[in-house]
Amino acid sequence: MEPGEKPIGHLYRYLPVAQGKRDTDKKEFGPLKEKKMKKAFITGIDGQDGSYLAEFLLEKGYKVYGMIRRVAIEDPEHHLWRIRHILDKISLFPGSIESYPTIYKNIQKIKPDECYHLAAQSFVSYSFEDEFSTLNININGTLNVLSAIKEASPKCRFYFAASSEMFGKVRHTPQNELTPFYPRSPYGISKVAGFELTRNYREAYGLFAVSGILFNHESPRRGFEFVTRKITNAVAEIKLGQAEELRLGNLDAKRDWGFSGDYVKAMWLMLAQDKPEDYVIATAEAHSVREFVKIAFDYVGLNWKDYVVIDKTLYRPAEVSLLMGDYAKARKKLGWKPTVKFEELVRMMVEADLERLSR
Ligand code: G4F
């Protein structure tokens, strides 16, 4: 541990350590070992991307630190299920991206080499219901992290989780790094602001700060509020006799869906370059919600038309009808490409939900 650094342990070490038991830290992380390991700080480590990224960075030999909300510490079963299997290998702090002092304090203590800012209110639909908190969390949260890095650890490389939702109402398909933004939701607007803040900190203060413009990315760890997981969970429930219908909104919307496990690798590659630049990460394929539904039901031998109910209340006030990304720059400069195709992704998610619900 560094001089003056408060104890940092994984979740189950956090509480006793906070009460003053410091010796175990010294034994486990001797000064020599600590110096050799690169340090990564992840906001939103308990989310889908955070969990895959933490696993990936641990494999790369990083020491991984994460900030999680206090409520997650108090109720780990519900909040930390995605990182349960690596809790003994990572170090967690309680904190909120809305609190500048907490972020500053943690970044100053850890002095990370890399910071991945993933935490956000990321559900587009909810951003129409509470645009104030979405804008507040997403914009001020990003500003807080950027500012804390600038003040406390300016050599730290910063990754911002931007989004294809920034493109919104597109006139050019596929979208790349030069496509103009036209966000259609408070969430999309908040991500444009975060993107511009990241660029400004890079240009004004010389931070190594980049944005990954990630298109939709899914996995068996996806939250249940997003359409892919809502579908695969319902398909598994219906197949197992635990549900009778699936209520959905707009089936015509098209998205470029990739696998989260692939996308976190691109985040790391962006920070490993000589120059800080922004990148589009996508699969270059677009599929409709209807196609996703059909493949998922087909996989369990059911006809989707017998179970799907269209619910107009699930339509959004302003929809993004088509997103499809051109990841040529990432392929050329990062050597990155997606490994999981659309149908494989749908099957992977249905299988995981069937397995979970059959236990
Ligand atoms: O799964 P979704 O909620 O994802 P959305 O809005 O595309 O946003 C996701 O991807 C973004 C990247 O572009 C991220 F930045 C963002 O944080 C998030 O991860 O909805 C996908 C589509 C929409 O067009 C929606 O209208 O599915 C349509 N849809 C139809 N019925 C539904 C439903 N979406 C949800 N969540 N629930 C439905 O019942």
Report, in angstroms and rounded to the nearest whole number, the Rg of the chain calculated over CA atoms: 21
Pocket probe mutation, ligand 1, options 48, 185, 216, max atoms within 8 Å of Cβ: 216
**How far away, in angstroms, is 101 Cα from ligand 1 center?**
33
CB of 216 closer than 6 angstroms to any ligand 1 atom: yes
Least Cα distance to 238 among 249, 230, 227, 226 occurs for 230
CB of 250 closer than 6 angstroms to any ligand 1 atom: yes
Q: What percent of the chain has pLDDT over 70?
A: 90
Contact 350, 235 (CB under 8 A): yes
Looking at the CA of residue 165, tell me the nearest atom of ligand 1. Answer: 13
Q: What gap in Å lies between CA 233 and CA 193, rounded to an integer?
A: 33
**How far away, in angstroms, is 105 Cα from ligand 1 center?**
35
CB of 290 closer than 6 angstroms to any ligand 1 atom: no
Interval 190-248: pLDDT, tens: 999 999 999 999 999 999 999 999 999 999 999 999 999 999 999 999 999 999 999 99
**How far away, in angstroms, is 216 Cα from ligand 1 center?**
8
Cα–Cα distances in angstroms (integers) from residue 187 to residues 14, 110, 357, in the given order = 33, 30, 32
Residues belonging to the active site? 163, 165, 187
Least Cα distance to 328 among 178, 181, 208 occurs for 178
- The answer for residues whose C-beta is within 8 angstroms of residue 52's C-beta and 6 or more apart is 219, 221, 260, 261, 264
**How far away, in angstroms, is 24 Cα from ligand 1 center?**
45
Interval 149-158: pLDDT, tens: 999 999 999 9
CB of 278 closer than 6 angstroms to any ligand 1 atom: no
Region 144-148: mean pLDDT is 98
Least Cα distance to 112 among 144, 84, 148 occurs for 148
Q: What percent of the chain has pLDDT over 90?
A: 87
What residue segments make up the domains of the chain, in order of their start? 11-222+259-283+325-335
What pLDDT does residue 33 have? 52
| pLDDT: which is higher, 216 or 23 | 216
> In which band, very low, low, confident or very high, does the pLDDT at 9 lie, cut at 50, 70 and 90?
very low
Mean pLDDT of the chain: 92
Looking at the CA of residue 250, tell me the nearest atom of ligand 1. Answer: 30
* Protein residue closest via CA to atom 9 of ligand 1: 216
Fold category of 11-222+259-283+325-335 in CATH: Rossmann fold (3.40.50)
* Protein residue closest via CA to atom 21 of ligand 1: 227
CB of 246 closer than 6 angstroms to any ligand 1 atom: no
Determine how many CB atoms are found less than 10 A away from the CB of residue 189.
21
* Residue bearing tokens 């413009």: 213
**Could you give the count of Cα atoms lying within 13 Å of 17 in the half-sphere of its Cβ?**
19
- Backbone angles phi and psi of 70, in degrees to 5: -60, -35
**How far away, in angstroms, is 332 Cα from ligand 1 center?**
29
CB of 164 closer than 6 angstroms to any ligand 1 atom: yes
What pLDDT does residue 73 have? 86
Would the pLDDT of 29 be above 90? no
